[in-house]
Amino acid sequence: MKLYSFKIVLVVFLIATSVKAQALKLDKVTVTELQAKKHSVDTSAAAAILYKKGRTFFTYNEKSGFVMNHEFTYRIKIYKKEGLNWANFEVPYYVGYENLNEENLRFHDAVTYNLEGGVIVKTKLGNEGIFKTKLNDNWKMAKLSMPNVKAGSIVEFSYLLKSENLGQFPVCDFQYTIPVNYAEYKTEIPEYYIYKTILKGYIDVKTESKMEQGSVNFDNQYGQTNTMTYKQISSSYIAKDIPALKEEEYVDNVKNYQCSLHNELERTRFPGQPVKDYAITWEGVAKTIFENKDFGKELEQKDFLINDVKLILNSEDSKEERLRKIFKFVQEKMNWNKDYGYYTDKGVVKAYQERTGNVAEINFILISMLRLAGINTDPVLLSTINNGVPVYPGRTVFNYVVAMADIDGQQVLLDATHKFTTQNVLPLNTLNWTGRLIQQDGTSKEVNLLPTMPSVLNCSVVVKVDDSGKITGNLRSRKTNYEAYSYRDKYAQANADNYIEKMENLYNGIEISNYEVKNKNADLLQPVDESFSFQSVNHTEIIGKEFFINPLLFFTTNRNPFFQENRKMPVYFGYPTQKKYTINIEIPEGFEVESIPKGINLSAGDGALVFKCILEKNQNRIQIAVQSELKKSIVSAEDYSMLKDFYQKIVDKQKEKIVLKKI
């Protein structure tokens, strides 16, 4: 079994990798297109992009030098009312530059087409349908709301984004949550700029790059028009019949696998000047981040914590005990304000005084206190699952920071922002492949965020079946690591009656009584222990003089979650698990066991997947022992058929029944 790794294609300029790109003729909207009631391939689609055409080219002025222009045109067909939201389009653009002018975005040529009485009617968008809003100090959002849109409409619009930031292009997406009939993107880059181009996803994109003659006209300081000529690298990217990007079960973030093109400036080579490298390294990222006053200087703020550290610890504490005490103190004292990021906002001193702060402020306080306690601790930058997996090194790819402590060579990941995390148990939304440990001297290293130690669920059930088919019994369960964290995160603050009702529904209508739970929100390093009594009339089937019972009772898996024929995305489980169920069933007097299923011992993926089930009859009791293990957090798409087959065998086995016969 292989751990999934990104499928990334590096597009090398000047080498044509396919047949010559075709030119897209933007024909007029036709009656046939407007009459279409559904997409020709994906008949369930609520809308489709009939074409997307993009172009990035450079202009020049004496004041700013080269400026990038990104122009895109869309034609979108609305098939159903559920697709009306595709007539509202949003484009973010950056305004937070210190040394550059704000980016500028302008919509134009926006038209809605409808068929009325067999005639095509065009409705042009006025200024009232275009809005610009401020998202934060760095970003604005341009919004477009097309007029007179209904099921059957076709909308068409263009926008131009001008930017003096030549460091990277905006991401060009080829795939969306609706099908795309045709997508084309062209770039015309002066020979002075060399970009690293990364094509991400699974779609076949035809590419071509070649050297051509290029030129720009510009006005000099006297108002005279000058022409600059140069060689330019012209590239085209074309994709056709692109399927919709659809959510699948067990996927971390579907956008990680969206077909898209990324361009990052690698170097410049101007005539008469030395070649200058711009390719960003992780070491460069670390150095730049530490130099920011809201990061490096805030990590140096320690004096205000000294007295509290002395109060928390005593001289005999081991490093492990010091870490435990400090982590618990910070976790209980500080309250997260739900703000992400790796830079502080109001600063660690004020956050500590007010007992509330963002992710950086809380975990910087933790790092500083651990350092004062003699424990080597550094920040680890990461991108949460919703933020996506970083494509290449950069400061903007991260949105979170945690701590990593080193105790005699053992690394411990810590996050004090959440109330139920523990050592090496981070919030689930941070388990996003890898993070980056960074140090002040600019060194950095990759940190695996995916857990390797299994999270355990142990269940013991004792059941008695009476002669009417009713079952009564007791259940005890123990959860550790992420199984315990998941329970606490969801239910530690929940109303007990509501939780019991949820469990009753989950377990197919059992009635629960005498419910107890230990370590729900007390000692988080201890497992969560639950116990309760139950009864049910829903877990036996009576046909004539025979009783049919599912050996796993309400733990039975009735459906294979992996039902697709093929899969291109990896299967994301989050963390390794080990689940054990021990079930003792006492049969009623006057009955005998006619048959029980045979045991099974499954293993797949070189032992990464394990399922064992042993059934034994002992006088008037049936003993069932089940063990299920998943030793990987992520299973590659290449192993999907193996995974699907493995789970199908489990489902098929669990369909087999214990048969009791009346004597």
pLDDT of residue 26: 63
CA distance 404 to 323: 11
Q: Look at residues 464, 377, 482, 379 and name the one whose alpha carbon lies nearest to residue 428.
A: 482
CA distance 568 to 227: 49
Q: Is the pLDDT of residue 507 over 90?
A: yes
Percent of the chain with pLDDT over 70: 96
Cα–chain center distance at 235: 31
Q: Is the pLDDT of residue 343 over 60?
A: yes
The set of long-range contacts for 421-428, using a CB threshold of 8 Å and a minimum separation of 24, is: 421/331, 421/485, 421/524, 422/485, 422/524, 422/525, 423/323, 423/324, 423/327, 423/525, 424/451, 424/453, 425/451, 425/481, 425/482, 425/485, 426/402, 427/489, 428/385, 428/482, 428/485, 428/486, 428/489, 428/574
Q: Are residues 364 and 431 in the same domain?
A: yes
Assigned domain for 511 exists: yes
**Confidence tier at 4 by pLDDT (50, 70, 90):** very low
Residue with tokens 């929940």, as numbered in its chain: 494
- Contact, 50 vs 182, CB < 8 A? yes
How many degrees, rounded to 5, is the angle at CA 179 between CA 174 and CA 181? 75
Number of Cβ within a 10 Å radius of residue 340: 17
236-263 per-position pLDDT tens digit: 999 999 999 998 889 999 999 999 999 9
193-217 per-position pLDDT tens digit: 999 999 999 999 999 999 999 999 9
CA distance 145 to 125: 8
Q: What average pLDDT does the segment 580-599 reach?
A: 96
**Confidence tier at 290 by pLDDT (50, 70, 90):** very high
Domain boundary among 277, 302, 321: 277
**Confidence tier at 17 by pLDDT (50, 70, 90):** very low
Assigned domain for 2 exists: no
CA distance 74 to 183: 9
Q: What average pLDDT does the segment 66-81 reach?
A: 97
Assigned domain for 241 exists: yes
CA distance 182 to 270: 36
Assigned domain for 25 exists: no
Assigned domain for 584 exists: yes
Assigned domain for 594 exists: yes
Q: Are residues 399 and 519 in the same domain?
A: no
CA distance 652 to 611: 13
Q: Are residues 319 and 244 in the same domain?
A: no
Q: Are residues 346 and 460 in the same domain?
A: no
pLDDT of residue 3: 38
Q: Is the pLDDT of residue 573 over 70?
A: yes
pLDDT of residue 2: 41
Residue with tokens 């009594």, as numbered in its chain: 533
Q: DSSP label at 300?
A: H
Q: Are residues 244 and 290 in the same domain?
A: no
pLDDT of residue 16: 34
Q: Is the pLDDT of residue 19 over 80?
A: no
Among the residue ranges 82-86, 117-121, 356-360, 394-398, the one predicted with the least confidence is 394-398
pLDDT of residue 248: 87
pLDDT of residue 134: 94
- Write out the residue range of the structural domain in which residue 647 sits: 455-662
Question: The domain that contains 160 carries what CATH number?
Answer: 2.60.40.3140
Q: Are residues 512 and 440 in the same domain?
A: no
Q: What is the mean pLDDT of the chain?
A: 93
Assigned domain for 1 exists: no
Q: Are residues 207 and 107 in the same domain?
A: yes
How many folded domains does the chain comprise?
A: 3
CA distance 318 to 295: 29
Question: The domain that contains 436 carries what CATH number?
Answer: 3.10.620.30
- Contact, 446 vs 295, CB < 8 A? no
Q: Look at residues 61, 60, 143, 49 and name the one whose alpha carbon lies nearest to residue 105.
A: 143
Q: Is the pLDDT of residue 567 over 80?
A: yes
CA distance 389 to 382: 9
Q: Are residues 330 and 242 in the same domain?
A: no
Question: The domain that contains 474 carries what CATH number?
Answer: 2.60.120.1130
Q: Look at residues 448, 2, 390 and name the one whose alpha carbon lies nearest to residue 198.
A: 390
Q: What average pLDDT does the segment 535-542 reach?
A: 94
CA distance 650 to 603: 11
- Contact, 279 vs 266, CB < 8 A? yes
Q: Is the pLDDT of residue 18 over 50?
A: no
Q: Are residues 54 and 201 in the same domain?
A: yes
Q: Is the pLDDT of residue 222 over 90?
A: no
pLDDT of residue 7: 39
Q: Is the pLDDT of residue 9 over 80?
A: no
Q: Could you give the C-alpha distances from 156 to 49, 187, 240, 367, 441, in angstroms and in order?
A: 10, 22, 19, 52, 52
pLDDT of residue 223: 80
CA distance 643 to 458: 23
Cα–chain center distance at 224: 52
Domain boundary among 401, 425, 448: 448
- Contact, 268 vs 190, CB < 8 A? no
Q: What average pLDDT does the segment 656-660 reach?
A: 97
Q: Is the pLDDT of residue 10 over 50?
A: no
Q: Are residues 204 and 67 in the same domain?
A: yes
Domain boundary among 277, 305, 325: 277
Q: Are residues 332 and 398 in the same domain?
A: yes
Encoded tokens for 395: 């400061």
Q: Could you give the C-alpha distances from 499 to 480, 491, 494, 581, in angstroms and in order?
A: 19, 7, 7, 22
CA distance 77 to 80: 9
Q: Is the pLDDT of residue 8 over 80?
A: no
Q: What average pLDDT does the segment 486-514 reach?
A: 95
Number of Cβ within a 10 Å radius of residue 134: 10
**Beta-ladder partners of 379:** 403
> Which amino acid does the sequence have at 154?
I
Q: Are residues 423 and 472 in the same domain?
A: no
Q: Is the pLDDT of residue 166 over 90?
A: yes
Percent of the chain with pLDDT over 90: 87
Assigned domain for 3 exists: no
Q: Residue 577 phi/psi, 5° resolution?
A: -135, 155
